[in-house]
Amino acid sequence: MATMNPLERKARSSFIKGIVIAGLIGLIGIVILVIQIMNMRAEEKERLASMTTIYVLNQDVSSGQVITAEMMTQKQVESTLIPQNAVSNISNYYLRDQNGNQIVSGTDENGNPALGVVINGQTYPLITEDYMTGTINYNGTQQPIIISGSPVMAKVNLMANTILTSETIAESNEITDDTTRQQEYNVLSLPADLETDDIVDVRLRMPDGTDYIVVSKKTITVLDEAGIPSLNTISLELNEDEILMMSNAIVENYQIPGSMLYVTRYVEPGLQAEAVATYVPSADVQNLIYSNPNIVNEAKSELNARYNSNAGNRNNINDTLGTLDEDDRSSDVESGTTDEITAGQDARQSYLDALTGR
């Protein structure tokens, strides 16, 4: 067997070392690659775990406008990429019980979705019976809960693709209850540039300059006739006690010469608080409200508080009415009501003509 010369032996040794070194480098590379893949998977898992549901507007919204479901799009976004005050659960903004306590979404002890009622800072699990009612265990007794709510409103003008945050939306005051109806009026003095979805107060101005708020912060709809806004007819969504307030104010506007029932518009309705109503209806209407089973106790209590705070306003109106001849007052109401009916019929006929193309 031939022996290797020193040069061959050295070359072979170098070759073997090269293979070993290359193998080690390759192994290190594989280990690094595996670690990187594991890290990437962990980061992806962490990223997916941090995904948060947010609400993004899909259209422009004006200040004070109620935001409805079709105006919003839900998106899953990494929490690090969105504002900390981004809204992740719209329902928390408007769910309430019959006493005004907030109803919040959460999970039960088993991690299942659940609702709770917040009373004095403590959350009581809500056992729902259907989508409107339930019970809570409050101080050892089962208390019935009626679920209600109010819409979400834009505080400021918002552009499409805006992420909704707690700073840009609030609860609207337009709570819908079983007595809410759309009421049409053609006897109010309107601003020249009033438009549908404007937020307004309805006020009664007396001949002596006193001025009372009848209903406050209501969204109006201007009747549309073949694409042309009506000159004098608008509709408001009012509940039973507000309807009676408006009816009383309209009658007294007819009776008192020089009085005016008119509409004022909020400048920045999303930021401006609802005005406190100061108009106090007549004793007959108050009695009707108190005895009306369709009017909730909360509204009756509010009327009572309004009367206690503004009794002088009612006295002022009564004094004014007392100076007028009763026959003249009745005649003025009859005349005003006739004009109101005629105006309503004319507006209805114009609307029907527009629909039929006549």
At position 299, the amino acid (one-letter code) is A
Which runs of consecutive H residues, i.e. helices, occur in 159-265? 240-255
Nearest in space to 63 (alpha carbons), one of 235, 216, 198: 198
- Cα angle for residues 65, 71, 77 (degrees, 5° grid): 120
Nearest in space to 67 (alpha carbons), one of 170, 198, 167, 220: 170
pLDDT, average across residues 212-238: 86
pLDDT at 349 over 80: no
Extract the tokens encoding 229: 């806004």
Least confident piece of the model among 172-181, 267-276, 330-339: 172-181
Q: What is the mean pLDDT of the chain?
A: 82
Q: How many residues does the chain have?
A: 358
The answer to whether 277 and 306 are in contact (CB under 8 A) is yes
CA distances in angstroms from 330 to 158, 280, 336, 337, listed in the order given:
50, 21, 10, 11
pLDDT at 279 over 90: yes
Which pLDDT band, with edges at 50, 70 and 90, does 57 fall under? very high
The string of pLDDT tens digits covering residues 105-146 is 666 777 666 788 888 878 888 887 655 678 888 888 898 888
Which pLDDT band, with edges at 50, 70 and 90, does 161 fall under? very high
Nearest in space to 234 (alpha carbons), one of 258, 278, 265: 265
Best-predicted range by mean pLDDT among 49-63, 236-250, 306-320?
Answer: 236-250
Residue 250 CA from chain centroid, whole number: 29
Exposure b/e, 298-337, CB count within 10 A at least 16 = b: ebbeebeebeeebeebbebbeebeeeeeeeebeebbeebe
pLDDT of 249: 93
* Own/partner long-range contacts of 120-128 (Cβ < 8 Å, ≥24 apart): none
pLDDT at 2 over 60: no
- What's the CA gap between 89 and 82, in Å, rounded? 15
pLDDT, average across residues 273-289: 88
Compute how many other C-beta atoms are within 10 angstroms of the C-beta atom of residue 104. 16
pLDDT of 332: 77
The answer to whether 318 and 284 are in contact (CB under 8 A) is no
* Strand-pair partners of 184: 235
Which pLDDT band, with edges at 50, 70 and 90, does 20 fall under? confident
pLDDT of 105: 67
pLDDT > 90: percent of the chain: 14
- What's the CA gap between 196 and 124, in Å, rounded? 41
Nearest in space to 258 (alpha carbons), one of 334, 213, 324: 324
Exposure b/e, 206-242, CB count within 10 A at least 16 = b: beeeeebbbbbbbbbbbbebeeeebeebbbbebbbbb
pLDDT at 261 over 60: yes
pLDDT, average across residues 2-6: 65
The string of pLDDT tens digits covering residues 82-92 is 888 888 777 66
pLDDT, average across residues 210-229: 86
CA torsion 41→42→47→50, rounded to 10°?
A: 140
Which pLDDT band, with edges at 50, 70 and 90, does 159 fall under? very high
Q: If you ran DSSP here, which 8-state letter would residue 50 be given?
A: T
The string of pLDDT tens digits covering residues 176-219 is 666 788 899 988 988 888 888 899 999 999 988 899 999 999 98
Which pLDDT band, with edges at 50, 70 and 90, does 98 fall under? confident
Which pLDDT band, with edges at 50, 70 and 90, does 278 fall under? very high
pLDDT of 131: 55
pLDDT of 358: 60
pLDDT at 65 over 70: yes
